[in-house]
């Protein structure tokens, strides 16, 4: 069977093109499992947790007895109380045991039968379950490692907190009583936040019986080099003629190595774009233009990953406010994982730390968030309605006239908001330009904010429209010297995109400012500067 890029469920190297996990698995074994650590693989949704656990179970089987469970297999009713949970747990282990010869060979039949007999006893409780599990661990031929995937499925239930407490108790007393050599839990929610799910308003929401867990520091995102190695395998099979290194770097720039997004982009390039007339040649598909089109398709699809993102922002208003400040106002927010909104953004995988400050985790998330926020704002935005009204005059022969966009925005902004104060413009000026621009490129183009240049004074917007890129620097006027430095920076930044023309939108509070659009020549670069 021909291998393919997989976005549904866990990945297998014999069936799917995927980043090789050998180095990661070796680190997990050496640094955690061999050292008898209990830990949590806590990452955002579709971050490769299940794929990692499946591969790790296979990697460990020569040295350990691995019991791999998935709490999605136990229904919500199975967590109703201790007795129901214990019976559900035992029945699940029975099924695993019957299907795995290696497990039957390593576990004492007598000890396992004692576990199964719990189902028939009148008094069934967690302590009885752990007595039986301790006997299994003490008599097994190899040290027993317990893996539990999708612990979020259980984490709304008090019985799961009690289950963790039992694991903790046995861990602390393991010099005297047999227990699991290592325990690995996997889920989105950090175990210390389980109380937050059960009672979100409680002052005790961060209390957890899982304070014996080691911090899991293994990087699970993909590097550009790892993406390149995966694409080299694909190229060897398919002979597209792509520049593998350039394509890998471009995919990384959009995804920051978020596993699902990497696979999603590659899947569209492999399966969808060959049907598009604009991408008849394989080499043209695996290019910057092809990747930009794949991203546009992803952003227009209804993905569970983005639905989850939207849902969490509706629940956690402080997290939403934090993201709006980062995107709209260019605020540099110091990294501090003890701030609740920051911690939530890190836990869900929407934010990350970069040079000591908090940023959106990747460009695709940022574009999705911007689309969501702009769409919500558009319902009550005059700027969006004006962009919608004016949009037909900006496209000619399939090309976007960005200079004309700036001219009309200057007219609109000066007429409507020209008398507002400095704080108003700093907070909302860039938002209004993005609202104005959105209906003009909607459905055909996309834009994103360049994280490397974003701060309270300057933000670069990169616009992709039918394969053509436009760099628009939006900045707050800080005087002539600052403005000239910004022009030089923009000129240098255009080199990265191999462009000869750039655009600058300056929000100025100078009473003597000249509102309008002018052209500046910077060496071989032309800069169209608009001042409002």
What does each of the 532 residues of the chain score in pLDDT, given as a tens digit? 799 999 998 999 999 999 999 999 999 999 999 999 999 999 999 999 999 999 999 999 999 999 999 999 998 888 889 999 999 999 999 999 999 999 999 999 999 999 999 998 888 899 999 999 999 999 999 999 999 999 887 766 788 889 999 999 999 999 999 999 999 999 988 776 555 454 544 444 445 678 888 999 999 999 999 999 999 999 999 999 999 999 999 999 999 999 999 999 999 999 999 998 888 788 899 998 899 899 999 998 889 999 999 999 999 999 999 998 888 777 788 999 889 999 999 999 999 998 899 999 999 999 899 888 888 888 888 889 899 998 889 998 889 999 999 999 988 887 877 666 556 666 677 788 888 999 998 878 888 877 554 444 456 788 988 878 899 988 877 666 666 777 777 887 888 788 999 998 988 776 666 788 999 888 889 999 998 8
pTM for the structure as a whole: 0.86
DSSP secondary structure code for residue 80 in this structure: S
Sign, Cα dihedral of 198, 200, 203, 209: positive
User: Could you tell me which residues come within 8 angstroms of residue 236 by beta carbon, excluding any fewer than 6 positions away?
Assistant: none
How much is the pLDDT for 206? 46
Helix axis angle for 422-441 and 363-378, nearest 10°, is: 100
Output the CA–CA distances (angstroms, integers) from residue 41 to 61, 213, 522, in the order listed. Answer: 19, 11, 51
Contacts of residue 417, defined as CB under 8 A and 6 or more positions apart, other chains included, come to 424, 425, 428, 429, 432
The dihedrals phi and psi of 395, each to the nearest 5 degrees, come to -115, 125
Q: What is the pLDDT of residue 531?
A: 87
Query: In this structure, are residues 366 and 350 in contact, taking their beta carbons and an 8 Å threshold?
Result: no
Residues 42/190, Cβ–Cβ less than 8 Å: yes
pLDDT value at position 373? 87
| Per-residue pLDDT, 477 | 72
pLDDT of residue 473: 87
Burial of 308 (0-12, 13-18, 19+ CB in 10 A): middle
> Which candidate, 3, 7, 6, 4, places its Cα nearest to that of 303?
7
Helix, strand, or coil (residue 281): coil
Element (H, E) at 293: helix 288-300
DSSP string of 396-419, one letter each residue:
ETTEE-HHHHHHHHHHHHHHHHTT
Say if CB 247 and CB 224 are below 8 A apart.
no
What is the distance between the alpha carbons of residues 138 and 177, in angstroms, rounded to a whole number? Answer: 8
């Amino acid at each position: 069977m021909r291998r393919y890029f997989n976005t549904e469920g866990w990945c297998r190297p014999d069936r799917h093109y995927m980043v090789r996990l050998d180095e990661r698995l070796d680190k997990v074994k050496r640094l955690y499992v061999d050292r008898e650590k209990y830990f949590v693989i806590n990452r955002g949704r579709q971050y490769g947790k299940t794929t990692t656990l499946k591969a790790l179970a296979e990697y460990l089987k020569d040295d350990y007895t691995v019991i791999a469970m998935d709490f999605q297999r136990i229904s919500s009713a199975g967590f109703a109380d201790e007795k129901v949970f214990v019976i559900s747990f035992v029945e699940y282990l029975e099924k695993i045991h019957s299907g795995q010869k290696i497990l039957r060979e390593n576990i004492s039949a007598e000890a396992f039968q004692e576990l199964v007999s719990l189902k028939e006893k009148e008094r069934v409780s967690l302590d009885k379950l752990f007595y039986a599990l301790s006997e299994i661990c003490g008599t097994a031929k190899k040290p027993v490692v317990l893996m539990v995937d999708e612990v979020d499925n259980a984490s709304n239930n008090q019985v799961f907190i009690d289950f963790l407490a039992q694991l903790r108790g046995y861990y602390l007393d393991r010099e005297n009583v047999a227990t699991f050599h290592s325990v690995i839990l996997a889920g989105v929610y950090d175990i210390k936040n389980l109380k937050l799910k059960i009672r979100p308003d409680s002052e005790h929401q961060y209390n957890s019986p899982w304070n014996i867990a080691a911090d899991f520091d293994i990087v699970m995102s993909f590097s550009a080099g790892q993406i390149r190695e995966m694409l080299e395998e694909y190229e060897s099979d398919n002979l597209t003629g792509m520049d593998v290194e350039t394509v890998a770097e471009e995919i990384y720039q959009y995804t920051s190595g978020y596993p699902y997004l990497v696979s999603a982009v590659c899947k569209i390039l492999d399966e969808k774009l060959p049907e598009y007339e604009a991408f008849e040649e394989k080499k043209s598909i695996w290019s910057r233009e092809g990747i930009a089109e794949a991203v546009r398709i992803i952003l227009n699809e209804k993905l569970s990953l983005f639905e989850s993102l939207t849902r969490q922002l509706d629940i956690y208003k402080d997290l939403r406010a934090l993201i709006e400040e980062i995107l709209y106002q260019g605020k540099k927010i110091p990294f501090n994982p003890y701030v609740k909104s920051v911690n939530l953004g890190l836990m869900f995988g929407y934010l990350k730390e970069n040079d000591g400050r908090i940023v959106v985790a990747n460009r695709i998330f940022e574009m999705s968030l911007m689309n969501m926020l702009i769409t919500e704002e558009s319902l009550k935005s005059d700027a969006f309605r004006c962009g919608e009204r004016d949009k037909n005059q900006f496209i000619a022969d399939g090309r976007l006239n960005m200079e004309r966009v700036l001219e009309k925005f200057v007219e609109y902004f000066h007429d409507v908001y020209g008398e507002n104060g400095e704080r108003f413009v700093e907070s909302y000026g860039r938002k209004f330009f993005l609202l104005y621009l959105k209906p003009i490129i909607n459905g055909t183009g996309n834009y994103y904010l360049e994280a490397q240049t974003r701060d309270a004074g300057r933000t670069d917007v990169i616009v992709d429209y039918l394969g053509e890129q436009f760099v628009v620097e939006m900045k707050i006027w800080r005087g002539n010297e600052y403005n000239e430095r910004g022009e030089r920076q923009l000129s240098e930044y255009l080199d990265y995109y191999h462009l000869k023309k750039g655009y600058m939108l300056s929000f100025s509070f100078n009473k003597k400012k000249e509102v309008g659009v002018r052209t500046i020549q910077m060496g071989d670069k032309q800069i169209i500067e608009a001042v409002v």
